[in-house]
Amino acid sequence: MRSRRVVITGCGAITPLGINVPQTWNALLTGGCGIGKIKAFDPVGFSCKLAGEVGPYKFRDYLPKSYRKAAKLMSRDIELSIIASDEAIKDAGVTTQATDPNHITIQPERTAVQFGAGLISCDLLELAPSVAVSLTDGMFDIHKWGKAGIESLTPIWLLKYLPNMLACHVGIIHDIRGPSNSITCGEVGGHLAIAEAADVISRGSAEMALAGGCEAKVNPIVMIRQCLLKRATSASNDDPEGACRPFAADAAGSVFGEAAGVVVLEELESAQKRKAKIYAEIIGTGSSTNINPVYEHLEADGKGIEIAIKKAMGDAGIMPGDLDLIIPQGTGIPQDDAAEATAITRALGDVVESIPAWPIKSMMSHTGAAAGTLDVIAAIKAISESRIGPPKNCEKKAEGCRLKLTCQDQERPIRHALCCGYTFGGQTAAIVLKKLEGGS
């Protein structure tokens, strides 16, 4: 057991399923779907024309007046992280410089901010006019770029695209000055940011942390990359709702999207002292890596995931049979799903056949660095409300997959939940959550 126990007392999200946690959670419970034809740009020419996009939002509503001029420094990833942070802080029932400047309840120097962030791709529409003034005979000319091209770009261009800026802006808005990190582990950044923030609190470097993951993947560069890597499905452009099929026999690839998820972590005693609502305790975390020269896929036996799960379960000190819910990565990429299912089964044994597994990307889409945090949010909501939603698009389970993807009884006590994930490039993670005895 950790010397200082860490609990989750707040959550915030902006996702393809809703602009806050209640909307998102309701959609997950009812089998909603946030995937549709890409609106951000015309996807003609892209093998996958689908994405999970966040609906319209009024960003100014989430920015303190004094900080509105900084909006021009922000990419969409940063905007989403600010929106989800606002909800998480309010949900936790604490106040900051931004939410109530006359009555601040957080300790700025003892609060951490740790975000998983993606490789933020630049806005091509912003860059293109500068490229257009750098042509010779219709070809890009770096000599012209070095003068006219550079001069025509906004001076703060680079700042929008540095992945650490999510945590920096959120820190500025809420005056959070404790330890701060930006985990850039692709699609497992959301898990790892939470795991590290829990350690930061546990070791005494902070009392509270804002932790999560945010990524806006609906950018032509990101999308073409997923198409080129054949990770995005090209089989379902006419059937958005059926496109992402985790662990299913008829899966053909994933669908990518944008979202942010943020949780508030807190040392148990300080949370109890202020009578906070406690969603769940983080009792175990683990991470490892896949080893595969084909970096875009898992190794066939998913060994790196198996190790991460075993580490997290060992850290938690519980047995596989104690688990009541598994939220796996479940991308809909057949070979990765097969490897992940194998890894989960090897880590937990035969009991996987009786533990409900609830992959949510079929509804949410694959939101990159946000994905792990959204999984954790789904898990803590399931724990605190004692229910999960129906698995979507998993009716025909892939051969060999032993995960329990059909759950008849969706209202049931959930004492322990496991979230696990992985990314291209190798890193893996697992988090074990527990309902706090006595509740709150």
Count CB-CB contacts under 10 A for residue 125.
9
- Chain positions 293 to 322 lying near other proteins, rule: CB under 8 A, are 293, 295-296, 303-304, 307, 311
Helix (H) or strand (E) holding 53: none
Q: Among residues 37, 82, 375, which one has the least CA distance to residue 223?
A: 37
Q: Return the number of the residue (184 or 331) whose C-beta is nearest other proteins.
A: 184
> Which of these ranges, 147-155, 248-256, 343-351, 378-386, lies near other proteins under the rule CB under 8 A?
147-155
Please tell me whether residue 184 binds other proteins under the rule CB under 8 A: yes
Exactly one of 84, 106, 167, 347 binds other proteins (CB under 8 A); that residue is 167
Tell me if 124 contacts other proteins by CB under 8 A. Answer: yes
Q: Does 239 bind other proteins (CB under 8 A)?
A: no
Nearer residue to other proteins within complex by CB, 287 or 384: 287
Tokens of 308: 């991460």
Lookup: tokens for 55: 């609906």
Min dist CB 385 to other proteins, Å, is 32
CB of 159 to other proteins, least distance (A): 6
Q: Which stretch binds other proteins (CB under 8 A): 191-199, 252-260, 274-282, 395-403?
A: 191-199
Q: What is the DSSP string of 272-320?
A: HHTT----EEEEEEEEEE---SSTTS--TT-HHHHHHHHHHHHHHT--G
Binding mask 206-225 for other proteins (x = CB under 8 A): --------------x---xx
> Is 227 one of the binding residues for other proteins (CB under 8 A)?
yes
Is residue 109 near other proteins by the rule CB under 8 A? Answer: yes
Other C-beta atoms within 10 Å of 249: how many? 14
Residue 299 to residues 131, 259, 278, 327, 342, Cα–Cα distance (Å): 40, 27, 37, 20, 11
Between 57 and 67, CB nearer to other proteins: 67
Q: Which region, judged by CB under 8 A, interacts with other proteins, from 144-152, 348-356, 381-389, 408-416?
A: 144-152
Listing DSSP states for 330-367 in one string gives: --S-HHHHHHHHHHHHHHHGGGGGGSBB---HHHH-B-
Quick one: 220 or 330, whose CB is closer to other proteins? Answer: 220
**Closest distance of CB 426 from other proteins, Å:** 4
Question: Which CB sits closer to other proteins, 29 or 172?
Answer: 172
Residues 201 and 179: their CA atoms lie apart, in Å, by 10
Binders in 269-288 for other proteins, by CB under 8 A: 286-288
CA dist 203 and 199 (Å) reads 6
Touching other proteins, residues 326-385 (CB under 8 A)? none
Nearer to other proteins, 253 or 389 (CB): 253
CA distance 323 to 127: 49
Nearer to other proteins, 185 or 360 (CB): 185
- Binding segment for other proteins (CB under 8 A), chosen from 26-34, 157-165, 320-328, 396-404, is 157-165
Size of the site for other proteins (CB under 8 A): 96
Nearest-approach distance from CB 145 to other proteins, in angstroms: 7
- What are the distances in angstroms from CA 51 to CA 16, 31, 248, 422? 9, 17, 19, 20
Place of tokens 């996987």: 352
Closer residue to other proteins, CB minimum distance, 185 or 378: 185
Helix (H, G, I), strand (E, B) or coil at 434: strand
Number of C-beta neighbours around residue 270 at 10 A: 17
Q: How far is the CB of 112 from other proteins (least distance, A)?
A: 8
DSSP state of 397: B
Task: For the segment 63-82, give every residue that binds other proteins (CB under 8 A).
Answer: 70, 73
* CA 154 from centre of chain: 30
Nearer to other proteins, 184 or 365 (CB): 184
209: DSSP letter: E
